[in-house]
Amino acid sequence: MSEQRQQATRRHTCERCPLRPLPIFRDFAESELDFVASFKKGELTAERGASVLIEGSHNAHLYTVLSGWGFRYKMLPDGRRQILNYVMPGDLIGLQGTLMGEMQHSVEALSPLLLCVFERNKLEQLYKCHPGLAFDITWLAAREEQMLDENLLSVGRRTALERAAFLIASLTMRAKAVGLNGNGAVGLPITQQLVADTLGLSLVHTNKTMRKLADRGLIRWRDRGCEVLDLERLREIAHSEFPEETKRPLV
Amino acid sequence: MSEQRQQATRRHTCERCPLRPLPIFRDFAESELDFVASFKKGELTAERGASVLIEGSHNAHLYTVLSGWGFRYKMLPDGRRQILNYVMPGDLIGLQGTLMGEMQHSVEALSPLLLCVFERNKLEQLYKCHPGLAFDITWLAAREEQMLDENLLSVGRRTALERAAFLIASLTMRAKAVGLNGNGAVGLPITQQLVADTLGLSLVHTNKTMRKLADRGLIRWRDRGCEVLDLERLREIAHSEFPEETKRPLV
DNA sequence: CGGCGTGTTGACCGCTGTCAAGGGCAGTGG
DNA sequence: CCACTGCCCTTGACAGCGGTCAACACGCCG
């Protein structure tokens, strides 16, 4: 019934989801797919630099990234900014705001961003009728928590060089897992200012740190992005576990 | 049937849960209480300094803190440690391990700790039969994520003094919310070494920072703990929002 | 052309880490 | 009752990592 209206506002049907066929995502049952399709209210696009979610606002929507990059951040009253994590295809955003009312962080698009929009209202039904999907949402929340743990360890205890290497390496691995830049060279659409705000460093010191990595031939900066040349050595410098990505749900 | 065995291993029945009457926790339906009671497998106690969960292990249990304090942390191969968050009565721990298999962080008792033990096996049934509880678990995961966001902002962008004030203030407020130290003076069972590992600072510098707070009459250190004297001014120094705690679930 | 965003560098300084030492207190064992 | 040990808080001296300030280069675009 409302199916047509929905069709009108979306260009990608769930049946032909460009993400779901990726090996990283677990298989969904027919009934689950059907529900997700009905759960999806429409699509939202955001240009580079646009705010998708804003700290302090009451946005009742839930989103899954279909394509593009973005980042989650918080700010202090005086303007200091801390990037909490990056989002890329397959990631769920807005859960905190949906569950607890007010957004406690913002999300901004790093590149043109395409989002599937889900409505809060149907979340109850999801929990009632599709425990598997409910479990998936919890799973995704736990995964986000895990990434935050790792970032906190990084900012709190790693040196500037280690932090930088860790950030670049982990973003690269996440990107690969969702099929971005499969053709060899991996390009991260980030600026050094973003990196600085992620690592808890100043812009200048970030630049000097990145320069070290570049001088060693591990990365290269070109037109608004970071090109990764030697993922293995970056991982070594970060000396982190990097547990291999297992199958995960895609809501 | 197994009721008796369960009784044997627990001293606190869910019906007479010492936590649930607190105003901070939402009311549970009869059926929910019944399920939680059956979900509870037993109790676990841990002495100060004991490890409850260990990074890298496969522990299939889920726990709710009944009484006592603890902390979650991660370590780097060379021994550097980062405390991610603290746990206190009403907090759920072990969710990451339960959902994703391997623990990516450890949990240690700060004081004698009493835990309710839940078994992973029944989690599926919880999601199937009690969507409200399933929702609660997701909610708790989102809350943890929110606290981590705030900690990351702190470690990444706040000065040493701000971080210290923020940590003390937020722990104090959390403690008050679950009825700890209701009689005026609030005592946090932490050492300066713990604080250092939480804030991403060295022990020495942490000491000098805490000294500043103490000299201003905001806190006082005595027998293995931190006594809070002026919560309001600590909050001012941290200049953070500190959204008031809303009702929350207690699984 | 001029403005803007972004990367790059040098100079300088201070916050924070490291090293070292000492004090108070509780527990323990002679 | 008194060493003795371990844990924790405290302080001073010194060094260095990283912040701040300032300038410049380069490409893009109105």
Please write the tens of the pLDDT for every residue from A94-151: 999 999 999 999 999 999 999 999 999 999 999 999 999 999 999 999 999 999 999 9
Judge contact between B88 and B178, C-beta under 8 A. Answer: yes
Mean pLDDT (chain B, rounded): 92
**Nearest-CA distance A129 → chain B (Å):** 8
pLDDT band of residue A2 (cuts 50, 70, 90) is very low
Domain residue extents for chain B: 3-144, 151-238
Task: Report the pLDDT value the prediction gives residue A131, as an integer from 0 to 100.
Answer: 97
In sequence order, the β-bridge partners of residue B221 are B226
Options 3.30.420.40, 2.60.120.10, 1.10.1270.20, 3.30.360.10; CATH of B3-144: 2.60.120.10
pLDDT band of residue A208 (cuts 50, 70, 90) is very high
Task: Report the pLDDT value the prediction gives residue B7, as an integer from 0 to 100.
Answer: 37
In sequence order, the β-bridge partners of residue A74 are A82
Task: Report the pLDDT value the prediction gives residue A223, as an integer from 0 to 100.
Answer: 82
Residue range A151-238, CATH number: 1.10.10.10
- DSSP structural state of residue B121: H
B159 touches strand C (CB under 7 A): yes
A79 touching B (Cβ < 8 Å): no
**Is the pLDDT at A185 greater than 70, yes or no?**
no
CA of B205 to C1' of D13 (A): 14
Q: Mean per-residue pLDDT for A149-175?
A: 97
A80 touching B (Cβ < 8 Å): yes
Task: Report the pLDDT value the prediction gives residue A3, as an integer from 0 to 100.
Answer: 34
Specify the residue for token string 């996440």.
Answer: A174
For residue A128, give the nearest of B131, B198, B200 by CB distance. B131
CA of B82 to C1' of D8 (A): 20
* Chain B neighbors of A100, CB-CB under 8 A: 139, 142-143, 146, 246
User: Which of residues A141 and A186 earns the better pLDDT score?
Assistant: A141
Task: Report the pLDDT value the prediction gives residue B183, as an integer from 0 to 100.
Answer: 56
CA of A204 to C1' of C12 (A): 14
Residues 6+ apart with CB under 8 A from A244: none
**Is the pLDDT at A180 greater than 80, yes or no?**
yes
The helix (H) or strand (E) run that includes residue B219 is: strand B219-222
Residue of A nearest to B123 (CA): A135
The CA distances from residue A119 to A62, A124, A138, in Å, are: 6, 10, 17
SS3 B204: helix
Same fold, A3-132 and A151-238: no
A158 touching B (Cβ < 8 Å): yes
Q: Residues A29-38: pLDDT tens digits?
A: 999 999 999 9
Proportion of chain B above pLDDT 70, given as a percent = 94
Mean pLDDT (chain A, rounded): 92
Residue of B nearest to A152 (CA): B152
**Nearest-CA distance A188 → chain B (Å):** 22
Residue of B nearest to A157 (CA): B200
User: Based on the number of CB atoms within 10 Å of its own CB, is A90 exposed (0-12), middle (13-18) or buried (19 or more)?
Assistant: buried
Mark yes or no for CB contact B141/A141 under 8 Å.
Answer: yes
Residue of A nearest to B247 (CA): A100
* Chain B neighbors of A128, CB-CB under 8 A: 131
Task: Report the pLDDT value the prediction gives residue A245, as an integer from 0 to 100.
Answer: 80
Q: Which nucleotides of C are covered by protein (CB under 7 A)?
A: 5-11, 15-20, 25-26
B80 touches strand D (CB under 7 A): no
Task: Report the pLDDT value the prediction gives residue A176, as an integer from 0 to 100.
Answer: 92
pLDDT band of residue A186 (cuts 50, 70, 90) is low
pLDDT band of residue A184 (cuts 50, 70, 90) is low
Residues lying close to strand D (Cβ under 7 A), chosen from 165-204 of chain A, are 200-204
A81 touching B (Cβ < 8 Å): yes
- DSSP structural state of residue A12: S
Measured distance CA(A59)–CA(A54) in Å, rounded:
8
Q: Residues A44-75: pLDDT tens digits?
A: 999 999 999 999 999 879 999 999 999 999 99
Q: Residues B18-29: pLDDT tens digits?
A: 999 999 999 999
pLDDT of chain B, 251 residues: tens digit per residue: 333 333 345 678 898 999 999 999 999 999 999 999 999 999 999 999 999 999 999 987 999 999 999 999 999 999 999 999 999 999 999 999 999 999 999 999 999 999 999 999 999 999 999 999 999 999 999 999 999 999 999 999 999 999 999 999 999 999 999 998 655 566 899 999 999 999 999 999 999 999 999 999 999 998 889 999 999 999 999 988 887 788 999 99
The amino acid occupying position A11 is: R
Other C-beta atoms closer than 10 Å to the C-beta of B241 total 14
> Which of A138-152, A199-213, A222-236, B126-140 is least confident?
A222-236
Options 3.40.30.10, 1.10.3720.10, 2.60.120.10, 3.40.190.10; CATH of A3-132: 2.60.120.10
